[in-house]
Structure 1
Amino acid sequence: MNASMPADAAAQDVSPAQRRLCVLYADVAGSKRLTERIGEAEAARAFERCFNRMERAVSSFNGRIVKHIGERLMAVFEGAEGVEGTEGAEEALRAACEMQSRVEKLPAVSGIKLALGIGLHHGPMVEGGNDSSGDTVKVAARLARLAKGGQVLTSASTVAALPASLSQAALALGAATVSLHGEDIPVFAVLWQNIASGTPSSDMGEPTAPPSSPPSLSAPSMTVPRLRLRHDGREIVLGPERPMLTMGRDAQCDLVIRSPHASRQHGRIELRHRLYVLSDRSTNGTHVTPAAEAGLHLQDAEFVLRGRGCLSFGPLAEAEAGDIVTYELL
């Protein structure tokens, strides 16, 4: 792969010999301490139990294990044929959540609890998916190294390839990045416990904190999409020139929502790393209805807006036409 290409796979061109897929890297945290405490032979048996569960999770979601490297596993997910732009992202994420759930249930060994740090990245690889040194693999591996035990970290290109029901569980980790070819790639933490249990995102807790000193470089220069919002006869377009707007009953908000169910400072939409993130900070929540997908209710939570859809404020049954905001990614 050409080293001069942009680091984010969402902006990369795919050559005729390549295809997009999702790479999963998983590191077993605690392996060194366990080996020192109980010896290599006993530790190897504990690792085998751990890897058996990881491999079953990969198989359950039609992934393919490429290699084991010490206490690390690499797998690729190609997804269903004909679903362009999402190749393997959902399957890889669900496999990561299943891995975490299975390994978390293993008992501690000599007082040491094994845990997984998982990295996912969606992007181009050579046909066949055995390119173990390309940019997509490097990003996934670096995300796994950055992850603490019990974390699933991913990239913006992976989040963009997920269905809305899953992308809502990925929260941007502020300044946390991984670097590649002098560019930094924003990091997202996946609240995997709630995907595994089916709990709505409004009930999710905060993700595990990122490392205290993540690498950070200047943001890459790439095309940024616009987001068009329409409400009560008004139209606002967000982009690099106007990256944020506020919504609520307060007259100072960019979009003034008259509904009594809306909070004065109900929430905002802001551009983060080429993604538009809806942040709800209200009392009654925000109902998001993406086009052709089931709606979901957010409360004190965040959601990545993709495609087009509409927003209503407070209980869906109480929404009036004048209080609905439509959105469309341009």
Structure 2
Amino acid sequence: MSRIEINAAVMFADICGSTHLYERLGDGTAHHLVSNLIKLVDSLIEKHNGRVVKHIGDEVLAVFEKLENAASCAIHIHKLSEDEKALSSLQMKIGIRFGAVFLENSDVFGDTVNTAARIVSMATPGQTLVGAEISGIELKSGAIRSIGLHKLKGKKNVVEIYELLGAQPKGLTTCVAPSRKNRRKERVLRLCFADTEIEMVVGQKIIIGRDEQNALRIDHHLVSREHAEVEGVRDRFVLRDISTNGLTVLASDGREYALHREGITLVGNGEIHLGTQSASSSDVPIVRFVNAER
């Protein structure tokens, strides 16, 4: 079969909780339940005009011609655990992305597939996450809400992710996609040390320390190989100390926050003094941070 390029919705549906099930029920019984769930998922995919590409362990990879069908299928997949008492201890997490894919020898390839795999890794049990293209279609059931811009592993640019919600209880506000005109600016954090400046975005995580592989490498005798990590979580940036000697955050208002195996949200501008419990210590490396928008 020759390679064919088409536009399609790629879905990864991953079973959660199977490891605990095998420990609790034993291999035979657990395998039967997991296999039964996968068969039910396969059947739902076909009913929603999708095609099962392959199974990867406890994960199902499928493609749909229409994103609406993939979204509807995802909602029905989550209902399986609710409707089937025997499957109540198993839940699915689902990631969907619509875009160009290559079909070859009954398999599917391309950046859309890779992105869908990254998206499902972000989801929690019982949750479906979808790329921003979901905001441009009219859903037959359910609703969506944006969970913000995220930096996916291996992707240069940030990606906006939406959560697909199931049937809405009365009184719950339906979330709609924000217009491009009114959408909030992207938050960034700039970290500066000596001649090095790093700019990170929400969804990204970096390590500060002595190791050469760290995003911000600081070769100093008071700095651990992995001294601290900074992560963009939703609309803020969190600093966590993971070192031997700790660190101190000096805020722009002069307040000091000494951390040792603890975390803090970086607000406004300030300094991170590594390897010390006091900002007045001399001969310690200092990382300056700036919260900004772009």
In the alignment, which of 133, 148, 163 is matched to residue 157 of structure 1?
133
Amino acid at match of 2:123: A
Q: Deviation of residue 127 (structure 1)?
A: 4.2
**Whole-angstrom CA distance in 2 between matches of 1:73 and 1:118:** 9
Q: Deviation of residue 53 (structure 1)?
A: 1.8
Structure number with the higher strand fraction is: 2
Q: Which has the larger radius of gyration?
A: 2
Residue 103 of structure 1 pairs with residue 81 of structure 2? yes
**Can you give the 5+ residue segments of structure 1 that lack an aligned partner in the other structure?**
1-15, 79-87, 207-226, 228-237, 245-269, 274-330
**Whole-angstrom CA distance in 1 between matches of 2:146 and 2:106:** 29
CA contact (8 A) 2:14 2:92 kept: yes
CA contact (8 A) 2:143 2:174 kept: no
Q: Deviations over 1:275-295 (max 9, x none)?
A: xxxxxxxxxxxxxxxxxxxxx
Q: Deviation of residue 163 (structure 1)?
A: 1.6
**Whole-angstrom CA distance in 2 between matches of 1:205 and 1:41:** 43
When normalised by structure 2's length, the TM-score is 0.54
2:158 alignment partner, SS class:
strand
Structure with bigger RCO (C-alpha 8 Å, 6+ apart): 1
Amino acid at match of 1:187: I
Amino acid at match of 1:173: I
Q: Deviation of residue 103 (structure 1)?
A: 2.8
Q: Deviation of residue 69 (structure 1)?
A: 0.9
Residue 30 of structure 1 pairs with residue 4 of structure 2? no
Q: Deviations over 1:205-241 (max 9, x none)?
A: 89xxxxxxxxxxxxxxxxxxxx9xxxxxxxxxx86xx
Question: Would the alpha carbon gap of residues 61 and 98 (structure 1) be closer, same or farther in structure 2, given more than 3 Å must change?
Answer: same
Residue 181 of structure 1 pairs with residue 159 of structure 2? no
When normalised by structure 1's length, the TM-score is 0.49
1:153 alignment partner, SS class:
strand
Amino acid at match of 2:29: E
Q: Deviations over 1:18-65 (max 9, x none)?
A: 110101110101011111222221111011221122112101111100
**Can you give the 5+ residue segments of structure 2 that lack an aligned partner in the other structure?**
187-294
**Whole-angstrom CA distance in 1 between matches of 2:40 and 2:4:** 33
Aligned-pair Cα RMSD in Å: 3.0
Q: Deviation of residue 157 (structure 1)?
A: 2.1
**Whole-angstrom CA distance in 2 between matches of 1:272 and 1:189:** 20
Residue aligning to 2:34: 47
CA contact (8 A) 2:72 2:140 kept: no
1:188 alignment partner, SS class:
strand
Residue aligning to 2:113: 137
CA contact (8 A) 1:173 1:188 kept: yes
**Whole-angstrom CA distance in 1 between matches of 2:63 and 2:67:** 10
Q: Name the count of aligned residue pairs.
A: 182
Residue 171 of structure 1 pairs with residue 158 of structure 2? no
